[in-house]
A and B are shown apart, each in its own frame.
Chain A
């Protein structure tokens, strides 16, 4: 297909390869930072507005001001933030949330949760607007899909609260795409308030929402975590991370357009319209309940305890988790009110 018979062809290719290698090597050379603590934070997912606060804190130099030379490592479908922090590959992480934190402790991973970003369950169940399902009792005998990342227990708990047993409905794993739901292959689907719900809206699909929080189940998500070792050895860095991260979030929620500029610069493949909606929803989740009364990232202990009992009940946890070691409130408490209160 390409004619490389011209004499110089392969030499040029070789030269190009060498150039690319050199450029890459230069690009990969670590930045020299003076007397700063080098740390990293692993995101639970790809770079997007869901993590705007961290990108803002980084861009605005909040981490540097706290003496941290921080790298933000995006996650992906194949990575587990909790394991990466437990192994020491990353210092901090925006982890999965309540279930992931408790499950890690249950598996004896030395993970400590420092704060919780989404104060309410960030996922809701949806049905098409013209569906005969009007109230939650109508879920009986229906086909329900859910992300099987631990969130299926939230669904089960929510329906158990309404007097339904797992044999009353079918609950299966949900694909990435919302298309099966739109094509009515399933009756009830799960969406995150900040992503899939916006995808549906963008497609003009009208839905009715059933939020777990309205049915007595609340599972706060997007945890800020670190390792026990880090807390023992470098508490100052941990405090700095908390201060800067919450400060960054406060700025991002107040200045959403600027925050989006920063996120878009970090991950240029994103679609701005979609990210705008994402940041709005994430902001709402963060300011809900204790997010406003106590401050951003607050650990709502009664709510966490309730979620713990639900997971224990569902036998997801092999036994009760010791909250004194799983959660450490002192760092959040020490964050200046000006950085966490809106």
Chain B
């Protein structure tokens, strides 16, 4: 892991140097592509501002993710346990995914207003779907022989659920959570485009319409870094606690 981190860092620095040199050597106009140094200068000079945006957008992401993941787990489990529920409600989940976030976002603003909760709702909406699907599929894939074994021990539905279905589905749920946290971040950023004054999404819009390219790149890098860190955090959790494969 250490050597991996080292080489990744080296690759990152190499890429930044390439960017800086490339922009300078080819004389790319700053309104097409700013230099890396200009981007980092902007970042360093606006730490407060960006920090405030990070706190806001990250809060939206995490709260939205937690809510969305919970919804996904509950519905995914319900669908796995009850075929009737699955047939009844699962199509609705699929249809909901066909609604573009743009249309959905406008509705959410009408329902929830403009504070943090409308962004949380959009982040949760994007997170819930993959978690629902993977929870359901993971639990349905449970080995019937193991179900039979636990039943022969006298296990009821509750014990079967917590002692077998949930751990059995965890690797597949974990995969959905990794996807979900990334979608949650996108949801939070897009959610801010429906009106707000703080957050990385709103700063991106401001930078775009004021054609402040160094700021735009600074924000893109920050969003990317947050995305990577969240993903890595979940990957680490997964590697440490959810290492078993379903097919064993």
Q: Which residues of A contact B1 (CB under 8 A)?
A: 3
The chain B residue sitting closest to A16, CB to CB, is: B62
Give the distance to chain A from B203, nearest Cβ to Cβ, in Å. 4
User: Does A274 belong to the interface (CB within 8 Å)?
Assistant: yes
User: Does A150 belong to the interface (CB within 8 Å)?
Assistant: no
Cα distance, A195 to B205, chains bound together (Å): 14
Q: Which residues of A contact B62 (CB under 8 A)?
A: 17, 20-21
The chain B residue sitting closest to A73, CB to CB, is: B114
B209-241 contacts to A (CB < 8 Å): 209-212, 228-229, 232-233, 235-237, 240-241
- Comparing A122-130, A155-163, A173-181, the segment that makes contact with chain B is A173-181
User: Does A334 belong to the interface (CB within 8 Å)?
Assistant: no
With an 8 Å Cβ cutoff, the count of chain B residues facing the other chain is 51
Q: Which residues of A contact B196 (CB under 8 A)?
A: 74, 76
On whether the beta carbons of A267 and B197 are closer than 8 Å, the reply is yes
Q: Which residues of A contact B210 (CB under 8 A)?
A: 195, 199, 271, 274
User: Does B49 belong to the interface (CB within 8 Å)?
Assistant: yes
A1-27 interface code vs B (CB 8 A; 1 in, 0 out): 111110001100100010011011001
Question: A1-B232, A5-B240, A10-B237 known; A21 and B114 CB under 8 Å?
Answer: no
On whether the beta carbons of B197 and A24 are closer than 8 Å, the reply is no
User: Does B44 belong to the interface (CB within 8 Å)?
Assistant: no
Q: Which residues of B contact A195 (CB under 8 A)?
A: 209-210
User: Does A306 belong to the interface (CB within 8 Å)?
Assistant: no
Q: Which residues of B contact A3 (CB under 8 A)?
A: 1, 236
On whether the beta carbons of B31 and A73 are closer than 8 Å, the reply is no
Cα distance, A84 to B195, chains bound together (Å): 12
- Comparing B77-85, B89-97, B104-112, B134-142, the segment that makes contact with chain A is B104-112
Q: Which residues of A contact B59 (CB under 8 A)?
A: 20, 23-24
On whether the beta carbons of A269 and B202 are closer than 8 Å, the reply is yes
The chain B residue sitting closest to A179, CB to CB, is: B31
With an 8 Å Cβ cutoff, the count of chain A residues facing the other chain is 49
Q: Which residues of A contact B120 (CB under 8 A)?
A: 24
User: Does B63 belong to the interface (CB within 8 Å)?
Assistant: yes
A1-56 contacts to B (CB < 8 Å): 1-5, 9-10, 13, 17, 20-21, 23-24, 27-28, 40, 42-43, 46-48
User: Does B113 belong to the interface (CB within 8 Å)?
Assistant: yes
The chain A residue sitting closest to B207, CB to CB, is: A269
Question: A24-B63, A79-B194, A79-B195 known; A269 and B203 CB under 8 Å?
Answer: yes
On whether the beta carbons of A46 and B202 are closer than 8 Å, the reply is yes
Cα distance, A186 to B215, chains bound together (Å): 26
On whether the beta carbons of B232 and A2 are closer than 8 Å, the reply is yes
Q: Which residues of B contact A89 (CB under 8 A)?
A: 109-111, 113
A57-88 interface code vs B (CB 8 A; 1 in, 0 out): 00000000000000101111111100110010
User: Does B149 belong to the interface (CB within 8 Å)?
Assistant: no
Q: Which residues of A contact B211 (CB under 8 A)?
A: 177-179, 199, 203
User: Does A266 belong to the interface (CB within 8 Å)?
Assistant: yes
Cα distance, A80 to B106, chains bound together (Å): 9
Cα distance, A20 to B105, chains bound together (Å): 23
On whether the beta carbons of A78 and B194 are closer than 8 Å, the reply is yes
Give the distance to chain A from B93, nearest Cβ to Cβ, in Å. 23
On whether the beta carbons of B233 and A4 are closer than 8 Å, the reply is yes
> Out of A28, A43, A46, which one reaches B116, CB within 8 Å?
A28
Which 9 interchain pairs have the tightest Cβ spacing?
A4-B236, A89-B110, A1-B232, A73-B114, A267-B197, A74-B195, A269-B203, A76-B193, A47-B197
Can you list 10 pairs linking A and B with CB atoms under 8 Å apart?
A2-B229, A4-B240, A23-B59, A24-B116, A73-B113, A73-B114, A76-B202, A78-B193, A79-B109, A269-B197
Using a CB–CB cutoff of 8 Å, the interface residues on chain B facing chain A are: 1, 4-5, 8, 31-32, 49, 52-53, 58-59, 62-63, 66, 102, 105-106, 109-111, 113-117, 120, 192-198, 202-203, 205-206, 208-212, 228-229, 232-233, 235-237, 240-241
